[in-house]
Structure 1
Amino acid sequence: MLIDQWQYELTIWIWSALACCAFILLMFVRAPYGRHERPGWGAKIPARSGWIIMESPSIIVITVFFGIAVSQWNYIDPIGVIFYVIWIAHYIHRTIIWPFRARIKGKSMPISIALFALLFNGVNSWINAEWIFSLHYPYPISWLYSPQFITGLVLYIIGMGINISSDNRLFELRNHGDKDYKIPRGGLFEWVSCPNYFGEILEWLGWAIATWSLAGLSFALWVIANLAPRARSNHQWYKENFSDYPKSRKKLIPGIW
């Protein structure tokens, strides 16, 4: 462990408090990338390069911790392997697959946003890797049959399916090189403006439940703090730019908000 346990737990509480602050801030300030890109946020870099760079710590950090744990214990924990695989599955998609499928060629993002995301992913990956591959490695084999592991894993898989299938529908809107935004149709888009965000929130709530950890909970809080305000901004943007936007669609949670 890199620091004492009390320091680690204090770090998580501070990290979680910062998530609450970020949520409040982002309800009033739209993060300036994607459809909300605007001047005044400093120098920029290509969006694709920015995405790959800022997401890469999430692959590197947890892989290093996993390797160290296996080496020190001379034992491959099956629960640890499952946690590693589902984490890596998400971030390979987010770091490598998504940037090359999304129509972001020629687009840019502020360096400040990329640097903040790089810092976030580094700290967040360390917090979660420390919990799984240091403090609680190996998990007892009975964890495989625990209700929290089963519930969390199912929720994670459902969320990932919603996230990827919703992204695919967005990609299909620009399959022929069209750069204009359109109203997404089909799937959960008939219910909410941002089902991809809804799916990602379900993923990390599932992670928090499956790991049953403060680390996982803090990550879920950060995901909500980032994506809930973003969904609100996207919903408002659709309404402002499309007069025929379906009035029945909610922002993020089907039938609720």
Structure 2
Amino acid sequence: MGDFLNSLLGPEAEELRLLARMSYLMIFMAVVTFFTLLFENVPYGRYSTTKFGFPVNVKLAWFVQELPAFVVPLFVVFWTSGAKLSQLPNQLLLLMYFCHYFQRSLIYPFLIRGGKSTPFASFAIAFVFCVYNGYLQGRYLSRYAEYPADWVTRPMFISGSVLWLVGFLINVHSDHILRNLRKPGETGYKIPFGGLFEYVSGANFLGEIIEWAGFALASQSVHSAAFAFFTLVVLSSRAVAHHRWYLEKFEDYPKSRKALIPFLF
């Protein structure tokens, strides 16, 4: 099966060029998305609307749309020739990636309490992105990424790995705070407090942005940089939209809080 898939994917040089083009396309799409989101919020959760398609149950949507980001690279790693899988830097970078999406696809969806349905268009776009990015990151790191033997001891890798871990913990902790805002039986929105929510409205978004920025710093590739840039564009837009929404909805919302970056923005 692995040999068949490798032959299907074509010569190494050709596939490596394809992966680079996919990365540049992701950067281009991030720029397009940036300008689009200046005029339209991402249609999910509190911004859901039927003009973007029929509603999909929020737990089902999160599980199905995020699952390819975990399954596709897992398939790539175990069913194709992973020439670089024996290298420690590649193993650690793949571990970072898989840790995030294991939590995001197999744990997070089943912890959601309530939540509005997701419009089909948002669900479909997220699903396609996870397939696309899952293949891009998994294939590059398992077959093509080449690092020196001492890469894991270099400052860029160490600082990037620490950033990834800090971002991951912020993201998980912030999701925990949001999940426990309402007591059983309560409905409606509440102001989040605790953790980085004391300083920013988008603490969960900030955590994920830090995560993938650290991943890109540790990886030092255009493939990871494209992913980090796309994440920054989409999640910073969500943070700004949430911040604006909180200020409009709650008169007592802390005026000292920023949208995404403590004390600055």
Q: Shorter-chain TM-score category?
A: over 0.9
Q: 1:252 is paired with a residue of what secondary structure? A: coil
| Offset, 1:30 | 0.8
Q: 1:141 is paired with a residue of what secondary structure? A: coil
Q: Which amino acid aligns with 2:166?
A: I
- Contact 2:68/2:130 (<8 A) preserved: yes
Q: Percent identity?
A: 34
Q: 1:129 is paired with a residue of what secondary structure? A: helix
| Offset, 1:79 | 2.3
- What residue is the counterpart of 2:255 in the other structure? 247
Q: Which amino acid aligns with 1:34?
A: G
- Match status 1:34 vs 2:45: yes
Partner residue of 1:87 out of 83, 97, 116:
97
Q: Which amino acid aligns with 2:152?
A: L
Q: Following the alignment from structure 1 to structure 2, what is the Cα–Cα distance between the partners of residues 252 and 74?
A: 37
Q: Following the alignment from structure 1 to structure 2, what is the Cα–Cα distance between the partners of residues 255 and 180?
A: 28
- Match status 1:210 vs 2:257: no
| Offset, 1:75 | 6.1
- Match status 1:179 vs 2:190: no
Q: Following the alignment from structure 1 to structure 2, what is the Cα–Cα distance between the partners of residues 146 and 83?
A: 14
* TM-score, scaled to structure 1: 0.92
- List per-residue Cα deviations over 1:116-163 (Å, max 9, x = no partner): 0011111111111222111126x4431111111101100000111111
- Match status 1:116 vs 2:125: yes
| Offset, 1:74 | 9.5
Counterparts in 2 of 1:68 and 1:77: CA distance versus 1, 3 Å: farther
Unaligned ranges ≥5, structure 1: none
- Contact 1:131/1:213 (<8 A) preserved: no
Q: Following the alignment from structure 1 to structure 2, what is the Cα–Cα distance between the partners of residues 178 and 141?
A: 55
Unaligned ranges ≥5, structure 2: 1-5
- Contact 1:52/1:95 (<8 A) preserved: yes
Q: How many residues align?
A: 254
- What residue is the counterpart of 1:222 in the other structure? 230
- List per-residue Cα deviations over 1:92-122 (Å, max 9, x = no partner): 11112211212236x3111111110011111
- What residue is the counterpart of 1:58 in the other structure? 69
Q: Following the alignment from structure 1 to structure 2, what is the Cα–Cα distance between the partners of residues 155 and 187?
A: 17
Alignment of 1:69-218 (within 5 A): 73=83, 76-104=86-114, 107-136=116-145, 139-218=147-226
Q: 2:259 is paired with a residue of what secondary structure? A: coil
Q: Following the alignment from structure 1 to structure 2, what is the Cα–Cα distance between the partners of residues 165 and 234?
A: 18
CA-atom RMSD in angstroms: 1.8
